[in-house]
Amino acid sequence: MAEAAIEVKDLSKTYGDGVKALDGINFEVEAGTVFGLLGPNGAGKSTTVKILTTLSHPTSGSASVMGLDVLGRAAEVRKQIGVVAQSSTADREATARENLRLQGQLYGMKGSDLEQRIDSLLGSFNLAGDGDRIVRGFSGGMERRLTIAMALVHRPKVLFLDEPTTGLDPEVRAEMWEEISTLAAQEGMTILLTTHYLEEADMLAQNLAIVDQGRIVAEGTPDDLKKALKGDAIQVGLGESRQQPEVESALAGVDGLSEVLLNARTLHARAADGARSVPSILTSLEAAGISVDSVTVSRPSLDDVYLKYAGRTIEQAEKNENEEVAA
């Protein structure tokens, strides 16, 4: 069995007000791979990263990075890792080169080795012509690339990327995905990525764990998780709000239909042959007086995986979390 760069065992975290951010999670990350923690905001992903990067203590359980216990050998762990937090850690009144130099000096680097490393990173992240510019004038994508470069100055063995593309527009996000893929291939390091973007997890992670409400509800490769969902995914947009029992009753006579779930005004279901099931679904809903606005049939996605194991879509989970925060 391949060496594990990260090991998490029965990890729990409860805050003082009784909020359980993590509820006994377990996973391992094989050295040299990209591992994704996929889930909505508030699922426990960032709490996991804070514990693994020695910034927070668990309530119970254990975790290690490169064989080093994150509690007992925290100082040694910090030398082995690079961290890209959700918000930028760059000094916006300094140049890109100055930020990289300071980061290297914090890890004891100096002289020509440090300067060569800085030049190499500026080139790798398409910042070679901007190294002496003040960061305040950078675009969001440029500053994000600099933040990742800063985490790599000391050549860490494990890189933590906590929601690395949040707030970036789709075009810049796609560019960042390409750069992270290249980074993983060229540097050969272990990367733990947290994200709530389905496409990001699908593209970058070799293995992933789906997290919901502090628990891991599914784990595996993106392809294996999707293949485990047999048949087609069917989504029906309803013309008005309905209740789960009404929909289930209306569709009870449709052969081959399973996993019927109403999420807001969108009906989700699975069928061995989605296209053939659609006419029966529409007829049954119409007979029950339930109007339909749209129907789509597709192959399983990671959102379908999340729906199966968490009982809601990531979009709905995000909405619920935002409503709780607002309240």
Per-residue pLDDT tens for 169-227? 888 888 888 888 888 888 788 999 999 888 899 999 999 999 999 999 999 999 999 98
Identify the helix (H) or strand (E) that includes residue 148.
helix 140-152
Q: Token pair 């082995």 is at which residue?
A: 80
Residue 178 CA to residue 283 CA, distance in Å, equals: 45
Number of H helices, E strands in the chain: 12, 14
Q: Output the pLDDT for position 323.
A: 53
What domains sit in the chain, N to C, each tagged with a CATH number? 4-225 (3.40.50.300), 230-299 (3.30.70.100)
State if pTM tops 0.75: yes
Per-residue pLDDT tens for 223-260? 999 988 888 999 999 999 999 999 999 999 999 998 89
Q: Output the pLDDT for position 1.
A: 45
Residue 132 CA to residue 9 CA, distance in Å, equals: 45
Residue 268 CA to residue 285 CA, distance in Å, equals: 13
Share the mean pLDDT of the chain: 91
**Residue 63 reports pLDDT greater than 80:** yes
Token readout for 284 is 């049954």
